[in-house]
Structures are given as C-alpha cells and as structure tokens.
Structure 1
Amino acid sequence: MKILTQKHFQLSYPMQKLLSKFLLSVVILILAFFGATQAQSIKWHDFEDVYFQIRGNQIFRIQLPGQTSEVFVSAEELKTENNTVLNIRDFTFSEDRQKLLIYTNTKRVWRLDTQGDYWVLDLESKKLQQIGKGLPESSLRFAKFSPDASKVAFVSEFNLYVEDLGLGEITQLTFDGNRKLINGTFDWAYEEEFASRDGFQWSPDGKRIAFWQLNANQIRDFYMVNNTDSVYSQIIPVEYPKVGESPSPAKIGVIELSSQELTWLDIPGDPAQHYLPRMEWNSPDLVLLQQLNRKQNQSRIFAVDVLKNEAKVIFEEEDEAWIDVLSSWEDVYALTYRHEFQWINDRKEFLWFSEKEGWRQLYRIGLDGKETPITPGAYDVINLLRVDENNNRIYFHASPKNATQKYLYTARLDGKGKAEKITPEELEGTHSYSISPSGKYALHQYQNTYTRPMAEWVSLPSHKPLEEARSIAANLSKNQVENEAEFFKIKTEDGTEMDGWMVKPNDFDPTKKYPVVFYVYTEPWGANVKDTFGVGRNRLYDGDMAEDGYIYISIDNRGTPAPKGRAWRKSIYRKIGRLNISDQAAAAKQILEWDYVDPERVAVWGWSGGGSATLNLLFQYPKIYKTGISIAAVANQLTYDNIYQERYMGLPQENLEDFVAGSPITHAKNLEGNLLYIHGTADDNVHYANADMLVNELIKHGKIFQFMPYPNRSHSISEGEGTNAHLKKLYTDFLKKHCPPGGR
C-alpha cells in the first residue's frame, strides 16, 4: 500500500510506477533551471569531480567546477550492425573504466523496467558487442562486469549466466530457475517491500559469484484475470504471499567459477521464518548479510567465512515494533537502487542506521561488532548523501526544527562534535543535494510552497555557488509566486500535534462557509505534508479547486514517516486502521468548528493506503465525513502481502483482532454518506479481490454507493487510451455532485 503522496499526483500519477520520488523531484528541479536537455539524472565518476549525463542517444562528460562539457560516447559509436542506434536507458563503467555496459530495449517487471538487453562498448577500440546473444530478447537482468572486466554476469529467465567477453562464450551457472524458484533476483514481495531486485554480486577478486535463491513453490498464486485482450479470459498468476503466510524461503549460494561448484551458505535459522534483505562481499572470502526475523523486529548482521562456510553474528538489535530495512526517504524506486553497506576504514567498518536511541541515527560498526554513534542528537537523519573520509566528514539530509522541510547537514565521521547545518538559513523549505565523490561540489535543488523548483551548483562545505549569475539567490525572486498553500499545526485533545497544509478558495470570504476536501494517506509509507511547490494541487480534479471554491486540506497523523522520531513513527504498530483514523478524525472535528467550514460539505479521498483510510474515515466517522472517493484501497488487511502487513501489524495468528478492527470491511455497515469506490482489475499490488469483498459487504447491508472497476488496469490505473481523462472526470463529477463547491 506504499504508493501515493501528493507529489505523485502533481507530476502525473502513473509516473510513480516508473520513477522514485527523488528522481522525479530531480527531473523537475533540473528542468526548471537547466532546461530539458539536462534533465537526465546525473551519474558521478567514481573518484573524480566529473559527472555523466545521457542526452538523446549520447553520453556527455561534464567536468567540475568549470562545467566544461564534451561528448563522451557519441550516437555513432552506439550503432549496431543493422545501423540502429542504441537507446540508452542506463550505463555502467568497468572498474578500469575502459569499457561501458549499455542497458537498452527495456521492459517493466512489476514497478520498474529491470529487464532488457545489454551491450558492451570498448572505449578504446570502439568495439560494440551484444551480451547474451541467443537468449530471448529483452530477457537480461542486472548485468555487471567482473572486477577485471573480462566477463559479464547476468540473469535471464531466473537463471544466472556469465559471458567471457574475449571468447564470446556464455556459461550457464544455474539450471533450476523458473517462476517459482528464482535465482539472482526476487519475488514480488521482496521487490515491493524491500526494494530487492538485483540478486547477485561478483566477489572482489572475480573468482566467485554470490546470489540469492528464493523458493516460492509453497507460495500460493493469486490469479488476475485479463478479460479485455481476447474473447477468452487470460489468467495471470502472481506468486503473492498474503499476510499470515510464511515467506518464500531465501538462501544465498556462492559459485566458484573455475569449477562451477555451488556452496549454499550455512545461515542459522528457519529460512521460511526470516528474511535476507541485504548481502554484500567484504573481501574475496568474507560475505556480510542481514537477517530479519519474520516479525521484522529483530535484525542480525552475519559475517560469513565463505571458505569455512561459518556464519558469525557481529551486530544485532531489536525493536518493540519493527526495524526498518529501508525508509520512504530513500530512493527505493530508482532503477539502480541497492542495499549497499557503506564501507569505511579500508572496509574494516561500515555505516548503519538505527533508531534504538529514539531517533534515526548513523553508527559506524566494525567487523568486530564495535559500534560508534556519529550523529548523536534528538533529530532524525533523513538519508546519507556522501561520505568524505579524507576530510573526516559525512553529509546528510535532516530537519530538526520543521518536519515538513529538508536541509543539508554535515558531521564528523569519527562521531566527535555536533552536526552543522550547511544550507543557508534564509532559504527555508525543502532542499536536495547530489554530492560529488570528493565532497567538494554538489548539485543543490531548492523549492517551497511559493518557490518554483530551482537548482544550482555549489562548493562544499562553504555552499558557495559556482556561478553567481545562475545561483538560486540571484534568481530567487523571479521564481517565487503567490503562496497558495498555508501550513498549520493542530493539537488534539490527547495532546497530539500534527502538521497540515490548507489551500483556501481564491475569493475566500471568512464570513461564508466553504466545503472542505481532505486528502489522506496516513500509513507508515507516506507523508503528505511537505514544504514543496504545488503541494496543495489535486491532479485528479478536472479544473481548479481553489477557483471553484473548495478548501483543500491534508494532515499527517502519527505513524506517518515524518522526521519526528521513532515514537511518532512507530506509535501506529498494530493500530493501522485505528490510530491513524482516530487522529485524522480528531483533527477534522476541530477543523469543522472553524467559522468558515461547512460541516455538511466534508469530503475525503485517497489512493492505495489513502484509499483504505478514506473508507475507514467514511465508515468509522460517518457524522464527520459525508463524501468519500477511495481508489485502489485495501478493504481487508488480510488480503495484503505478508512483508508489509506483518511489519506494521504483527502476525494474524497472534493478534487477528487488530487486523479485523483496522479493516474497512469490518465497518462497512456504518456507511451513511456518499461513496465512490474505484479499483483496477489487474492490480498486482492491492488485489481487485478487495473490491469484490467490499462490494459484497455493502450489498449485504443494503448500502447504496458508486463503484467503478477499470478493466485490466494496474494499481496506477494508468493503462489504456483515455483512462486518465476518464478518471479525472469521474472523480470531479462525483465530488461536485455530492460535495458542491463554493461559499454560502
């Protein structure tokens, strides 16, 4: 249910399936300042202050600080034998930087296009050769060079392969892979909930490959039905572990390439009752991996001696609620995202996030288990940006004073001293940074509710613009507009203080009463209240809500991933569908007492987890919410996947009552107002079965409502000609009919 934030709707909701929040914001910010030709995300050189960009079908090399640009790989160099120029989706360098691996002709697998074709370009000889010839087109995944660049390993159709570049010989390394026995990549649940996609790694000496194998044979298939592409229905099976079902057993194998001998690492515990979300080589003979128990409240890091096949725990922690393997603050939907250990001190230590002291802080952990806090304090480290080991410095995002904003901070890598804010004080709002390997330069991006996205290049740690004329400060005034959204705080009777934003009608008259529309998400994977440009816009509304006379509001309740500390975020444990709902209702109750709010015209809407919240608010608090539009909602918590639902709710075998109490279907009998329920029949995330169950329950209790299934559309309801326009019209017509706009 981790899908929708207001930002996704600002940009065209279907794009959320393809790009992460971070990449989307980078695209907008660079577009706003540098223009469309430089809107591609940058790829840093490993150790020089140089970055690369894809522009058209060419790769450019840009040198800092002068921003001198040159064609690094031309379209002519990417012409194949049939005179077709490769369309570059992504590229990676070999370690010696003499070869380039080009990713092209891609296909989407679940969220991202992680399947395609790969070509190798020799940067000296200009020889261009395709990898995996003879295998099905667009079937290769996660291809990567061996350390000496003599070979390329990849996954195709659930099996591992390695190709000798000199000889052109392909060697198959695993032979048992299929849809249910997955080698070198992951099943739906691991990918969706842990962002685990790339499932194998070369050893540092290139002699071995370590890889995951997931056995989904005991995972029941969920069947989706395609009724639109043939006169006979087509069944689409998805191996999908529902909450309460044991996980797909995962294990890690190591293949000795010289002999092709396979060894399965001896990892303690029952593989059907734990997860292995992270694995990485430390040295040619040592692998580190993270094991998470099924409830996801115990984490252990093992150091595995590959030659002896012995695993030793070097770090472990527990949490009364859950331990986050990743957070919504990370770039988890980026094509190249990986759970990497951040190594320091010649790989004798690594950096690690933990909330054990009440805040999300960074620690340095030694292979001997010794730990040192490096960002102590009462604030959350939102995400780590760069480690500048030469200068004993790290850079990270944080916002200790305002959870709706984000700034650049630095701290000493040795943990001594306090964190320092680098972002200029006068630029209040949301900042993002991409920092060069040396830590000397950064692409700085800035926006707030009344400032269009802007970008500049700065030097660090001084934060001085590289080009004064193109700096944010020099161009700030012409990028600022009248502030539409205003932020507010609301404190409920139990003392809970929540952040919110509000957009009032253009011709607002405080003597009149206006309808209010609440936009909700409310679950642990999304926060809506952020100080960003366009935050109060509703892209599903066909028109201008402020012009038509609506008050538009969003509030972040307890449990949302705001940088407010562990207690705020984890108070929702085992209470999804209750705590978040009561918080929202308590805030709405106060808002309805405002003189200019019409308590008879109150609407709420949301998508995915927000759709679930919409249903719960409409059903549990029918005296407050009169109209609701729910899209792609989980109506019954027992229908969602085990990793997400058990992380936040526990095991239904132990506390079934919490799942029942938090499910909208339990409260459907209380519907009094106007409901529009929308769902795509080919939703592989929140299954369409939720719609059938909810509709059945509403019919049982004689409730009248509107229902719109979108045939063969996924969770984004983006496929098919005319879909977006139809959805906007449906949404808007229903809202205007049942919650009429305008002051009275």
Structure 2
Amino acid sequence: MKKYLLFLLFICTSVFAQKIDINNLNWLPNSHSFWVSKDNNVSVYDVDKLDKQNTILSKEQLAEAGFKGEIEDLVWNDLKTKVLVYANSKKVWRDNTRGDYWYFDLASGKGKQLGKNLDASSLMFAKFSSDNENVAYVSKHNIYVENLNSGKITPVTTDGTDKIINGTFDWVYEEELAARDGFRWSPDGKSIAFWRVDATSTKFHYMINNTDSLYPTIIPVEYPKAGEKPSSVKIGIVNIDSLQTNWLNIPGEPDNNYLVRMKWINNESVMVIQLNRNQNQVTMYDCNAKSGLARVIYKEESNFWIDVFDISSGLYDIFPCQFVDNEKSFLWSSDADGWMHIYKISLDGKSKELVTKTNFDAYYKAYNEKTKTIYFIASPDDATQRYLYETNLNSKKTKRVTPAIFEGSNRYIFSTDAAYAQHTNASISRDYNQRLIALSGHQKIYPKEADVFAAPHRDYSLEKFKVKTVDGIDIDGIMAKPLDFDASKKYPVFFYVYGEPMATVANDSPYFNEFIAALIPKGYIGIAMDNRGTPAMKGTQWRKSIYKNIGIINTHDQAMAAKEVLKWDFIDADRVAIHGWSGGGAVTLNLIFQYPDIYKTGIAIAAVTDQHFYDNIYTERYMGLPEENEATYIQASPVTHAKNLKGNLLYIHGTGDDNVHYKNAEVLINELVKYDKMFDLMIYPNRSHSIDEGEGTSQHLMDTFVRYTEKNCSPGAK
C-alpha cells in the first residue's frame, strides 16, 4: 500500500528537465527528493533521477481549489502524498509567519482552503498528524485541529488572547531563542504538545505611529527588558479527542526559567530542554505525557553562558539533539572542554561519550542514520573560512569532506536523509557558486557542466589580513581597496564593526558591507575585523571572554586593532570613519566616544545605547542580571561616554523599531544635548530595525550615508 501511495506522487507529467533552479530547492521529508516552484507550478525531483521532472501541482489545480496568491512554502505529510500550500503571508515580528493554507491530496489532485471560518492570513505553522486525518495550526494564539475528511474545525485551546499565547511565542522567545513554531504532534497523531506563554506580567513597550492617521496610534509590544522577569511559560499535552490537557511538571519557576526546545521521544514521553534565567545551566528532561513527571536526563553548568543551539546559524525551531542508536542515545554539542565538540549521551543519562576528538571547533550539521555519519562545520586553520567535516559514530575517525579546490566559505543545505546537499562555495576572490552533491565523496550531481569559479561582480578588491594588538590578541580582518589603489598615497579608512556574539564580519566571502562598498571606488579603504566575543571558530575562551563585558572587551579590542591598522603607510590617520548597526551601532558609539584620537567620524544605526534597554534574554545571557553586574552595565553603555564626543556623529534610527527601540535614540540625544555636543540625526518614521519599509527608504538611507561620509571624511588618495 505504501509503495502505491508513493507512486501516486509522481504520476503527473514527467518530462526531461531543461534547467533546475537548485538555488530555490526545498528538501522533502525523509528522502533526498526536493521541490521547486515556478509560476505556481510545483515540480519534484529525485536526486537519483534528475532527468525527470515530476509536476505534482499545477497553477490550474490551484485555481480550481480557489487558491489566490503565490506559493510561499509547502508542508508535506511523511508519506509525501499530501501537501499544504502556504500563501498570502503577513509579518509577525521578523518574518512572515502567518498566512493562508490550502490542502491538496496529490493522488486526486483536489484541494481546498483550510481555516475558512478564521481570519484571513491568520494561520500559523500548519502540519499534518501522522495518521493524515487532521491538520493542526495556530490562529490568534489558539491551536485548532481541522479534520481533512469532514472539514470540522475544533479549537484545542480556547484561552488565547494578546497576553495568553498558545502554540507560538512572544517577541523575545522568537528574537533570542529562535522559537516560532510552538506545538508538536505526537507520533501517533492523538495528542499535541504545545507551549503556553503567559505574558500577563510582561510590560508593554509602546511605539507611536504619528503618520498614518490624523491622531497618533499606540503600538504595544510585549518586551521584557534586562532585569525584568521572563514571561511565564509551560508545556501542555492536549488529547485531541477529549480535549483534556496535562501540564508537564518541570521543576523551577515558570517565570524564572526558559523552556527552549521540546521533541516527542515516543507516544508516552517528551524531551524538554530548559535553561535557567542566567542561561549558564541547561537541563534535559524526559517528561511523561500523562503524569507530567519530569526525569532529569542530563545537566550541564558553565562559568559562561551555554549555547543550546548555534546562535549564528539563523535557523529557527531546530531541536539541538539528534537521536541515535535506535533512539537510545542522542548527540549534543558543548564547548565545555574549550572547543565546541559533539557528544553522545544515553537517554537514561548514564553515559556521555566524546565523539569529535579534535583540537578545533566542530559545529554539528547533520546525521546520516544509514551510514552512522555525522557531518559538522569546522575551520581549524582559518577562522574566516568554513569547511565540511565528517566523523563516524562507530569509528570516531574525522576527515575533511570539502575538497581543497573549494577554498573559502562553504555552506551546505542537507537533504533530510543527509545523503545529499546543496553546496555553495565562495571566497573573497570568487563569487558564489553552487551545485548538488552526494555527500559520500563530495561527488557532484548537478549541474553536469564543470564548476565555474567566476570573479565577484564588484568595483573594488578584497584581501585578508591579521594584526596583533598591544595585548597580544590576534585579530582577523578583511580589507577592501579601490581598484586603482596606489600604495605610495594615503587613503581614508572606514571601519565596519559588529563585535557581539551573534555574528562575525571578517568572513572569507565575496562582498563588503554594502554602505561602505559604495564608497570604496571613490577612494576609501574598508576594514572589517572580529574581536574577542564574536562567534569565530577560535575556541570557547575566544568566544566567551566577553561574558559580562559586552561594550568593554569588544570596544577595547577594536580600538587596539585599529591602532595597528593606522600604522600602515597608506592609511591617513586623520580621515578615519566607523559604522555599525544594532549591536555594531553600540560599538560604533563607544569607539567614537571613548577613542576620539582614533575615530573622527561615526555613523551609528539603531544602536543599543544603554544595556538596560534591551531585552532580558539576550542581555542577561551575555551580561548577567543588572543587579549582579550593575557597574559593568553602566560602563558598557554609550550614554555613559557621550560627553566625550569630539568628532562627527550621524545617528540614524527608525521610530517603529520593535527590536532596538527608538527610546535608545532619545536617551542618547538628551545626553548629547546636556553636554552641548553637536551631532547629526536622521529619523525614519515607523521603520523597523531594518529600516527598509516604505517607498524610497533604502535609497534615501544609502544616499544619506554616502553624502555624510564624503562631507566629513573626504574621499580620495593624497
């Protein structure tokens, strides 16, 4: 029966494929097939048979079902015989996570819209039950189950409000714990495990919209700031027949811990990962779905913070433990021994075994159950680069998978069976190039033509460098130069900074920061450097030396590294500019305020000007609670040092920023006014943290940036 159903998936039109858009491929579950959509026609390819294109949904079928919009995503059942089509999405916080869903049976080709009696574009995270009888989704903070045969829609939670959030999360869980999808079907499809967030005690931060109506409107955002308790969170198991909910009895105060991830182990138990408020203790529980009893599987403590997931990956809702050995053990990543390593831990908690026995960081990416192969990203020799490595669960032998020809940065998007991957390679000297590969032997599958390593499309050159600071710290850097660079002349230098634990900027990649890149051909040198505390693959001490010192160690490292750069003969030390955004904006302000002898011009965008103003999860993770570290909070904040401004400062912020609130701008402005410090200001009404909404905004921001730089830090070699 199963083989017959699988066959039905591919009975539609089969033609020889002309060109496959592997840039936009999406892997199917439990396989190495993928789908692509073009003009609302969905095609599926099997990596083993790429000469066959199987159209499983056509725009005519969509139209017949009443579908309106463009296909944005597909959600598959495990058998790959049914599919949900996602469209008409709307932005929630950072991403468009609510929209409309249509259900299609691929055997009949027939479809219908789900949740038709609910608000348009309000459905979130729809997914099939394992028995394919139902689909569950969230709408307006309640979870619903819709029967695919009868069409009956049943609310399985009913208390959802703006403050009681079922099946998804509040702003801070999404932003800082990469958690969006807040419910999971049980393996038998009879129950749903879900998060319930009670934000009743979480205070609102109010934003004001002054432009879209005659009178201002107030926009409330649930936003627990540093020092404020988290929202109360618990996990329930609801039976979809009885609609009875059992709550898991996880130790600890629900408003003083974080329930970061969960996953069903079997029909009787759920694995839950908990972080304490300080995020320096992680506990894994095996929770009984009926009694709610929570048994400790594993606990880890640290003198720093603990990374439950790769904070720099940009991925959401990823469960950080991979079950192995017929689900008797799981893989877990930890940097407790000085390097990020992969461990195998038994589900009974009785054994812990080091898997990656290397003296370099190993960041887990995928596991092939059939071959027992573990894939991870590492860069033992150059932290600006990324390469794929593998080890085997049985042999523990480690080897590099990425061939030497692919120098630079390498990204892999793995098939769900971890047998194949979409591979993207790039470096400062070659543009992005892409292929499908079989991971065994890194064998190229598509395209058939020879790999093309083209030069990047840019009007400047890039090169890597290192400097050693007066403190003996080796700093990696990327330098951009105009094509007509003359080493006998002196150039203005523009530093691009971030400097916090969420991202690196000195990466072996083809392009420089877009704002500064626009200035390089006019006669500027661009510099990007990574200080201690950035997530470079240099070991635990490098990444976590910034603990309780954000705004201090990173600021010092950047300034000391800049001093070394200013010693170069072709750098004009009288023309020095700096730019950063968000956390990088805070570093920019601290540098221009504290080191006016180095930095003459600064452009800070959407900066955190006082550590107390940012959210509790991020700030307390890296700085500790304010009550434990108040003196450092004050010392780390740019407002404390604003009175020292001597150079040129342009500050930019959007009033609709729900991440780094416009409050940061006004407090900084007050302090600069207090000390009679002259500065320039550009405010974008109702723009969010990215300042990209509204006609003409992006171009205006770019023009403002370029003109201010040219006026205050003149271009050209001298």
What's the TM-score once normalised by structure 2's chain length?
Answer: 0.94
Q: Give me the whole-angstrom Cα distance separating, in 1, the residues matched to 2:717 and 2:121.
A: 56
Any gaps of 5 or more consecutive residues in structure 1?
1-33
Does the 8 A contact of 2:389 with 2:400 survive in 1?
Answer: yes
**Separation (CA, whole Å) in 1 of partners of 2:661 and 2:426:** 36
- Partner secondary structure for residue 358 of structure 2: coil
Write the deviation string for residues 37-92 of structure 1: whole angstroms up to 9, x where unpaired: 7165322233333211122211111122341222121111212455x555211111
**Structure 2 residue identity aligned to 1:78:** L
Aligned-pair Cα RMSD in Å: 1.9
Residue type of the alignment partner of 1:116: G
Residue from 304, 307, 320 that aligns with 1:324:
307
* 8 A contact 1:501–1:555 mirrored in 2: yes
Residue 539 (str. 1) matches residue 518 (str. 2): no
**CA deviation profile, 1:302-341 (whole Å, cap 9, x unmatched):** 00112232111110101111001222342426xxx43354
Deviations 1:384-418 (A, max 9, x none): 1x21122121122211111111111110123x333
CA contact (8 A) 1:208 1:257 kept: yes
SS in 2 for 1:614: helix
Structure 1 contact 59–74 (Cα < 8 Å) conserved: yes
CA contact (8 A) 1:95 1:148 kept: no
CA distance in 1, matches of 2:485, 2:78: 61
Deviation at 1:512, TM superposition (A): 1.8
Deviation (angstroms), 1:35: 11
Quick check: 1:568 aligned with 2:568? no
Per-residue CA deviations over 1:14-41 (Å, capped at 9, x if unaligned) read: xxxxxxxxxxxxxxxxxxxx99971653
Higher relative contact order (CA 8 A, sep 6+): 1
> In structure 1, the residue corresponding to 2:252 is in which secondary structure?
coil
Q: Please tell me whether the aligned partners of residues 679 and 691 of structure 1 are also in contact (alpha carbons under 8 angstroms).
A: yes
- Among 371, 380, 383, which residue is 2:361 paired with? 380
Q: Deviations over 1:724-743 (max 9, x none)?
A: 11111111111011100111
Tell me the amino acid that sits aligned with residue 688 of structure 1.
Y
| Farther off after superposition, 73-82 or 107-116 | 73-82
Give the share of equivalent positions with the same residue, in percent: 47
Q: 1:405 aligns with which of 381, 385, 392?
A: 385
**What code does the residue aligned with 1:523 have?**
E
Partner of 2:4: none
For 2:553, which of 562, 576, 579 is the aligned residue?
A: 579
| Equivalent position to 2:600, from 621, 626, 629 | 626
Q: CA deviation digits over 1:606-643, x for unaligned, max 9?
A: 11111111000000101110100000000111000000
Whether the aligned pair in 1 keeps the contact of 2:436 and 2:447 (CA below 8 Å) is no
Contact 1:382–1:563 (8 Å) recurs in 2: no
Q: Deviations over 1:440-468 (max 9, x none)?
A: 43322211111111112233321232358
Question: Which of 405, 428, 442 is the equivalent residue of 2:407?
Answer: 428
Q: Residue deviations 1:499-539, cap 9 Å, x none?
A: 001112332222222111100000111100111111x2x42
- Does the CA contact (< 8 Å) of 2:493 and 2:526 recur in 1? yes
Residue 441 (str. 1) matches residue 424 (str. 2):
no
Deviation at 1:584, TM superposition (A): 0.5
Q: Which residue of 2 aligns with 1:273?
A: 256
Judge conservation of contact 2:411–2:423 (CA < 8 Å) in 1. yes
Matches within 5 A, 1:287-298: 287-298=270-281
Change (3 A) 1:468 1:729: closer
Residue 611 to residue 349, structure 1, CA distance change in 2 (3 Å): same
Q: Is the 8 A contact 2:611 2:636 kept in 1?
A: yes
Q: Which range moved further: 581-590 or 252-261?
A: 252-261
Alignment correspondent of 2:5: none
What is the one-letter code of the residue matched to 1:671? L
In the alignment, the residues of structure 2 paired with residue 65 and residue 445 of structure 1 have an alpha-carbon distance, to the nearest angstrom, of 20
Corresponding residue for residue 71 of structure 2: 88
TM-score, normalising length from structure 1? Answer: 0.91
* Distance in 1, Cα, partners of 2:456 & 2:633: 47
2:687 and 2:29 mapped to 1: Cα distance? 41
Aligned partner of 1:470 in structure 2 is 449
Q: Match for 1:106 among 70, 80, 89?
A: 89
> Which deviates further from its counterpart, 322-331 or 607-616?
322-331
Shift of the 340–166 alpha-carbon distance from structure 1 to 2, 3 Å rule, reads farther
Distance in 1 separating the partners of 2:168 and 2:428:
40
What corresponds to 1:707 in structure 2? 681
| Cα drift, residue 564 of structure 1 | 0.8
CA distance in 1, matches of 2:243, 2:327: 28
* Structure 2 residue identity aligned to 1:595: D
Question: How far apart in 1 are the matches of 2:22 and 2:78?
Answer: 27
Q: How many residues align?
A: 700
Alignment of 1:336-347 (within 5 A): 337-339=317-319, 341-347=321-327
Cα distance in 2 between the residues matched to 1:468 and 1:101: 30
For residue 377 of structure 1, what is the amino acid of its counterpart?
A: T
When structure 1 is superposed on structure 2, of 306-315 and 218-227 the one drifting more is 306-315
- Counterpart CA distance in 2 for 1:569 and 1:63 is 41
- Counterpart amino acid of 2:60? E
Aligned mates of 2:259, 2:447 — CA distance in 1: 48
Is the contact between residue 506 and residue 549 of structure 1 (CA under 8 Å) also seen in structure 2?
no
Give the secondary structure class of the aligned counterpart of 1:409. strand
Q: Is the 8 A contact 1:450 1:482 kept in 2?
A: no
CA distance in structure 1 between the aligned counterparts of 2:231 and 2:441, rounded to whole angstroms: 49
Partner residue in 2 for 1:76: 60
CA 479–698 in structure 1, closer or farther in 2 if over 3 Å, else same = closer
Whole-angstrom distance in 1 between the partners of 2:171 and 2:264 = 25
Distance 1:685 1:572, change over 3 A: same
Query: Separation in 1 of the partners of 2:229 and 2:527?
Result: 40
The separation in 2 between residues aligned to 1:597 and 1:43, in whole angstroms, is 47
Q: 2:638 aligns with which of 659, 664, 667?
A: 664
1:719 aligns with 2:693: yes
Does the aligned pair in 1 maintain the 2:459–2:521 contact within 8 Å? no
The residue number in structure 1 matching 2:492 is: 515
SS where residue 106 of structure 1 aligns? Answer: strand
Instruction: Say if 1:488 and 1:500, in contact at 8 Å, map to a contact too.
Output: yes
Q: Is the Cα contact below 8 Å between 2:312 and 2:503 reproduced in 1? A: no
SS of residue in 2 equivalent to 1:129: strand
Deviates more, 1:50-59 or 1:481-490: 481-490
Answer yes or no: is the 8 Å Cα contact 1:78–1:86 preserved in 2. no
Judged with a 3 Å threshold, the aligned counterparts in structure 2 of structure 1 residues 482 and 613 are, in CA distance, closer, same or farther, namely: closer
Q: Distance in 1 between matches of 2:320 and 2:355?
A: 19
Which amino acid is the alignment partner of residue 420 of structure 1?
K
Tell me the distance in 2 between the aligned counterparts of 1:539 and 1:483.
12
Task: For 1:225-264, list aligned pairs within 5 A.
Answer: 225-264=208-247
Given candidates 136, 151, 155, the residue that maps to 1:153 is: 136
Q: Deviations over 1:628-659 (max 9, x none)?
A: 00000001110000000000000001111111
CA distance in 1 between partners of 2:257 and 2:455 (Å): 54
Counterpart Cα distance in 1 of 2:420 and 2:659: 40
Q: Does the aligned pair in 2 maintain the 1:383–1:398 contact within 8 Å?
A: no
Match of 2:501 among 499, 515, 524: 524
Q: Using the TM superposition, name which of 349-358 and 134-143 deviates more.
A: 349-358
Q: Distance in 2 between matches of 1:412 and 1:443?
A: 21
Distance 2:423 2:628 in 1: 48
Amino acid at match of 1:486: E
Kept in 2, the 8 Å contact 1:364–1:372? The answer is yes
Q: Secondary structure at the match of 1:562?
A: coil
CA contact (8 A) 2:435 2:447 kept: no
Change (3 A) 1:246 1:80: farther
Q: Go from structure 1 to structure 2 and tell me whether the alpha carbon gap of 1:487 and 1:361 turns closer, same or farther (over 3 Å shift).
A: same
Cα distance 1:568–1:331, how it changes in 2: closer, same or farther (>3 A)?
Answer: same
Q: Which amino acid aligns with 1:181?
A: I
Determine whether 1:498 maps to 2:478.
no
The equivalent residue for 1:16 is none
